[in-house]
Amino acid sequence: MEVKEKDYQLSGLVIDACAVFDEEAENYDEHDNAVHEIADGAIPIYYWDIAQYAAHNHWLMTEVPEISSGGTAHDQIQANIYQYVVEGLYEHIEERREKIDRKNKQIINKEK
């Protein structure tokens, strides 16, 4: 197995979280529970990784998150990453719903 080098871009965390959502969504009663649990699992926990995400995404160090606004610098960076991943997951869910709606409309139009 080849080890892939991290690029520390937040979009990669969102892409990975969306893939997990697509695989695991049926195991949750509500999408909200899935979103928050998956986003929580996507947050880096090692100081090195947290610092690398901040170095590659400077706004993580300057934005005061709604959650953990009084925490340490690392806590705030993690909270900003969490919020970013949550927003990405909700966008993904909305895109999935729109795609399903388009397919359903096509089926209905074909039946007419």
Q: CA torsion angle for 23, 39, 18, 103 (degrees, to 10)?
A: 90
Q: Which residues of the chain have pLDDT under 50?
A: none
Strand extents, DSSP E, the chain: none
Matching CATH number, 11-111, of 1.10.10, 1.20.120, 3.40.50, 1.10.3470: 1.20.120
Q: State pTM to two decimals.
A: 0.85
Query: Which of 47, 55, 48 is closest to 10 using CA atoms?
Result: 55
pLDDT digits (tens, 9 = 90+) for 67-87: 876 788 999 999 999 999 999
